[in-house]
Amino acid sequence: MEKGTIKISGYSVWWHKRGRFLTSHIVLMFLAITTLLPFMWMVLASFKPLEEIEQLNPLPTKWRPENYLKVFEKIPFHRYYFNSLFVAAWVTFTTCLTSAMAAYAFSRLRWRGRDHVFRLYLATLMIPGVVVMIPNYALMVKMHLLDSYPGLIVPASFSAFGTFLLRQFMLTIPPSLDESASIEGAGQWRIFWDIIMPLARPGLITLAIFTFMGNYMSFFWPLVLIKSEHLRTLPIGMLYFDSIYGRQTNLIMAASVMNIIPLIVLFVASQKFIIKGIQLGAVKG
């Protein structure tokens, strides 16, 4: 009797764990499908004729792959593509460099008031970007950087979040490495460039991915700063495309699909670096 009870009890525990496992996966699959539905509608709508966009039928009756070619005929889409990639690449490079240098100063160097300055710098994360847009615009006017690539790149090249992320990561690196390098005659710049930067590579890759993805889709700052058509980025170009040529939803969806392809490829290719960088950066605070 006791053996049967043990078997039944063990089976119930196994079934309880199995049931929780299946339930959690069903819920996650439902959430994933719900999240993918807008994306799937966008892809399917990009192949539809304009008159079928508002129909309930999800699949197009007539597939129109030429919608993607029409986007390039209506607007200089290749130029917008280049501008977004060019600006995002430069912002990513400068942000990683400035954040790494600031993080090194806040984590490896000892100077009076270091922690207080870091807290003040970190407090800027609570200031909305819209608040500093007018001061940044006035600064760009004084520096004669309106309607230019440097005007898009320079204000976005400093990140309190990036400094915080890399500082937390650099705190996990043993201080004995700095002391050994100093004994061998290495200066601060060589320690930073030859020792700390290679060890902080996962954190740098994570910051680079976040920065590129965030700046690639930047909208408000290019909208305020850029006036010339040849300097428009993808979000601004698509805005003018929608307003000047009327609501051609099928072409807008085709442009949107081409717009997000670099982000999808980047995220899929670097997913393991994002997880590793965040995990390692959270080890020590």
* Residue-range domain boundaries for the chain: 2-45, 67-281
Q: Give the pLDDT confidence score for residue 17 in this predicted structure.
A: 67
Q: Give the pLDDT confidence score for residue 116 in this predicted structure.
A: 92
Q: How far is CA 68 from the centre of its chain?
A: 25
Q: Residue 130 to residues 58, 135, 137: CA-CA distances in angstroms? A: 38, 10, 11
Q: Give the pLDDT confidence score for residue 276 in this predicted structure.
A: 63
Average pLDDT of the residues in 93-122? 91
Phi, psi of 111 (to 5 degrees): -150, 155
Q: Give the pLDDT confidence score for residue 6 in this predicted structure.
A: 47
Q: Give the pLDDT confidence score for residue 2 in this predicted structure.
A: 46
Tell which residue, 225, 254, 201, has the closest CA to residue 144: 225
Which one-letter DSSP state was computed for residue 248? Answer: -
Of residues 245 and 95, which shows the higher confidence score? Answer: 95
Tell which residue, 70, 20, 25, 31, has the closest CA to residue 48: 70
Show Cβ contacts of residue 104 under 8 Å, excluding neighbours closer than 6 positions: 170, 192, 196
The answer to whether 211 and 91 are in contact (CB under 8 A) is: yes
Q: Residue 106 to residues 181, 190, 261, 271: CA-CA distances in angstroms? A: 19, 17, 37, 28
Joined together, the tokens standing for residue 276 give 């590793």
Show Cβ contacts of residue 188 under 8 Å, excluding neighbours closer than 6 positions: 109
Is the predicted pLDDT of residue 220 greater than 80, yes or no? yes
Neighbours of 236 (CB within 10 A): 21
Mean pLDDT of all residues belonging to the chain: 84
In CATH, the number for domain 67-281 is: 1.10.3720.10
Tens-place pLDDT, residues 120-156:
998 988 888 888 888 999 999 999 999 999 999 999 9
Q: Give the pLDDT confidence score for residue 249 in this predicted structure.
A: 84
pTM metric for this prediction = 0.81
